[in-house]
Amino acid sequence: MLEPKNNDELPPIPPKRYFTIGEVGELCAVKPHVLRYWEAEFPQLKPVKRRGNRRYYQRQDVILIRQIKSLLYEQGYTIGGARQKMSDNPEELAKSNVNASEIRSLVKDLESVIARL
């Protein structure tokens, strides 16, 4: 399991339409078998499946996976508790986690600008 301090250092999501399971694993620091398990446990997570049952995730799926990861690894929820929290108030949860990731990205950008000066 990842240390909570490492979960804040996720790379920004590139501007692509679809991501493979390997790419999502790298973007979210989660192994592919965990992503497949989460698909079975969280009904909101439904990647597009194409030839040979290959999974293709969209940007909102990556954001959802980061939210699930935060609930499970950082906030200490169980799978059932995280599922319930996401179904109770999905708008509030999405708003808070997206803003936090955007803020982290902005802070990294500002730090690189300061380093150049």
What is the rounded distance in angstroms from the CA atom of residue 72 to the CA atom of residue 66? 10
Residue 23 has pLDDT above 70, yes or no: yes
pLDDT digits (tens, 9 = 90+) for 34-53: 999 999 999 999 999 988 88
pLDDT digits (tens, 9 = 90+) for 49-98: 988 889 999 999 999 999 999 999 999 999 999 989 888 865 555 555 55
Give the torsion sign (CA, 30, 33, 38, 44): positive
Query: Domain 4-116 is in which class?
Result: mainly alpha
Give the torsion sign (CA, 35, 40, 43, 49): positive
Between 6 and 37, the higher pLDDT residue:
37
Give the angle subtended at the CA of 104 by the CAs of 13 and 39, to the nearest 5°. Answer: 45
> What are the structural domain ranges in the chain?
4-116
Report field, pTM of the whole predicted structure over 0.75: no
